[in-house]
Structure formats: C-alpha cells, structure tokens
Amino acid sequence: MQNQERVRSTTVYAGLTWDDILGTAVLTTALTRRGLRVYVDLPTKEELRGLRIVRSYAVGIQPRNGVTFSSSTAMVYSRPKRMGYVFRYGEDGRGEVVMRLSSVSSVTEVVKEYLPTINADVEVPKQLLDDVIAMGDGGLDRVSKIGRTIYGVCRLRCNDKNVRQLLYSYAYSAINTGNLKLPQEILNLYAEYEKALKLVETVVKEDRVVSIGSYRVVVVSSKYSDELISSNIGYLRPLATDILNQVCRRSSPAFLIYEDESGVHSIRVCVRFNVSIARVVDSIPPELLDKLSVSTSATSVSIEFLDPSAATLERALELVGQMAARLQSR
C-alpha cells in the first residue's frame, strides 16, 4: 500500500483589527482551497509582544514590540502612506518588499492582490469590503448596519480572543456561504457596546473627572474611588480615549490616567489649541525622564513607566500633579 502524501500545513496570524480578521479569513479560504491545512492564530496585544512567526503568514502584523519573522510572508496596509505592502522574510529575519500597492485602502485588499501569486482568487462580499474600507477612512456614516455592529464589537472587545474568534468565524462563513446574517452572539456584544457608549456619556455629562488646578484628569482605573468608573472598567477601558477627547474639547491640555488589563497605569495628554506638545513634554520633571517612556503625536503625549511595579494610580496622579504645576507656572 502506498503512503498517502502528507498534507502541507501553515498558520495565518491576524492583527488586532476587523480589517486584519477579514483579510485573514480571505487568505485562509484561499490557502485551504489550494489544499493546505490552515491553522489560524488570533493573538492578543499581550501575546503579540515577543511573538515569533516562523514559516507562516501574517495579516496586519509588523515587526514591532518584539514581533519577529522567519521564512514568512506578511501583508500590511499603511494608512498614513495609503500604501499596501507584502513582505517576504528570510530565515535570518530580514524582510524585503515583494509587492507595493497604491490602489488599495485596506489590508483585506492587499490580501486580495496577493492571491494571484499563489494561483488563487476569493470573492469577498461587497458589503463587507465596502464597510472595512469606510471604517478605515473614518467614514462611519457610510457603513452598513452590519458594519456598524462589527465596528462597535471590535472597539469594545477586539483584544478578547474568544470575541475575535467569533468575528473570524463569521467572516470565514460569510465569504464561503455568502450569508451575511450576524449571529446572536455578535448582536449581544453590540448591545454591550451601546451600554459602554451610555457610560461614556454619563462620565462626560456628569464631569466625573479629577481637577488639578485648572486641568482636567480623566481616570479610568479599577482603583479609582468613583464606583461608576471602577465597577464598569471593562466597558470604559476600550473607550477611554473617547472620554479624553471629549473633555479635551472643553479644556486643553487634558490628561488621561489609564489602567490596562494587567493593572499597569499609563498617562496620555490630549493637546488642542492653546498649548504646544513641546511645552507638555517640558512639564515632565527632568529627574524622572530616565524612568519613563515618552512618545508624541501631533495632538497627544503618551507616558509609560519603565518599571511596571511603579505604574500605580497613586504614582500616575503624582506625576500628573507635577506636570500640571509646572504647566501652570509657565
């Protein structure tokens, strides 16, 4: 009796967004139709740190925060550059661009453009593709009801592996059956997102923030004395920057003290019209700079404690107080 030919296998790793998940479902479908046994990995933010991807595919994942590649292919979309890329990494981990795509607006489209190189093609339901492009461009007014539901679920729970598996299963089924009906589990999760939005509205409307001098400090922490916030941390944590941005419209700069899932606190400062980013950075006490990681964007400053054991709510409040005092004295 002849030995049966061994079925080749590979793994596809998905990034954290709905676009990454949908693109992964497209790629998995194509590889499966080509006769491969495909495993799907949906790593959380924590699992992405230090992740090693070997002889596999990745959708929406780049070599950052300790992620490394070996003998693998990665597909990404750069929104700032409005370019899609396909990278091929050798055994030594060095990557080269094998495709540059200027005609795409999502990583799902990057995957679609890659498929002909493996003699495959997968039809993606137009509504799902249109929605994912609109989400990426911020055009939520153009998103369908299905897209809006998925957007809300992903905003609230996309770092939950079980939820991401549910979204992936939906995407894979929709691609392969054409049935876009959302399962009840996803609809239930969207109801939780609506609850989170109402909580955000309450926090902002009732001004449940800390005042330090003339500055407003949003605290999203399970250690915070405000029970509305501490007891609803799972709902408010994913939307913390929404609260900060709304407070910042009325009072700039505004601060956010944020507790992540591991209990580590960090600080974000939103800057709008009246204070420069440089001035906010200068307000950090210089003797503390070697204990902090500071990064900036056009409208914000992010501060992390290098020692997680020092990243307590009390220490974060103390640092914000020092910054506020220095800002006010200048």
CATH number at residue 240: 3.10.310
2 pLDDT higher than 50: no
Please state the separation of Cα 77 from the chain's center in Å.
Answer: 14
Domain that holds residue 279: 199-328
Residue 7 pLDDT class (50, 70, 90 cuts): low
Compute, in degrees rounded to 10, the torsion defined by CA atoms 107, 127, 169, 41: 0
Q: Is residue 81 part of a domain?
A: yes
The answer to whether residue 227 sits within a structural domain is: yes
- For residues 148 and 208, membership in a common domain is answered with no
- Answer yes or no: pTM beyond 0.75: yes
Rounded mean pLDDT of 136-144?
89
What is the average pLDDT score of the chain?
94
pLDDT of 44 strictly over 80: yes
Q: What is the pLDDT of residues 294-316, one digit of tens each?
A: 999 989 999 999 999 999 999 99
Same domain for 178 and 228?
A: no
Confidence (pLDDT) at 329: 83
Alpha-carbon span 252 to 182, nearest angstrom? 41
For residue 241, which amino acid is it?
T
pLDDT at position 17 over 50: yes
Percent above pLDDT 70 for the chain: 98
- Count of structural domains, the chain: 2
Where does the pLDDT of residue 273 fall: very low under 50, low under 70, confident under 90, or very high at 90 and above?
confident
Q: Do residues 229 and 303 both lie within one domain?
A: yes
In the chain, how many H helices and how many E strands? 12, 14
3-class SS at 304?
strand
* 121 and 63 within one domain: yes
**Model confidence at 139, in pLDDT bands (50, 70, 90)?**
confident
Q: Which tokens go with 309?
A: 């054991």
Residue 274, pLDDT > 90, answer: no
The verdict on residue 102 lying in a domain is: yes
In a domain, 322, yes or no: yes
Query: What single letter denotes the amino acid at residue 126?
Result: K
Residue 4 lies in a domain: no
Do residues 294 and 280 lie in contact, with contact meaning Cβ atoms separated by under 8 Å?
no
Shared domain check, 32 and 77: yes
113 and 222 housed in the same domain: no
Is residue 30 over pLDDT 80? yes
Q: pLDDT class for 22, splitting at 50, 70, 90?
A: very high
248 in the same domain as 151: no
Residues 219 and 144 occupy one common structural domain = no
Question: Kind and range of the H or E element at 314?
Answer: helix 313-328
User: What is the rounded distance in angstroms from the CA atom of residue 158 to the CA atom of residue 238?
Assistant: 9
> Last residue of a domain, which of 120, 153, 182?
182
Q: Are residues 71 and 173 in the same domain?
A: yes
pLDDT category of residue 60 using cuts at 50, 70 and 90: very high
pLDDT tens digit sequence for 208-256: 999 999 999 999 999 999 999 999 999 999 999 999 999 999 989 999 9
pLDDT band at 6 (very low <50, low <70, confident <90, very high): low
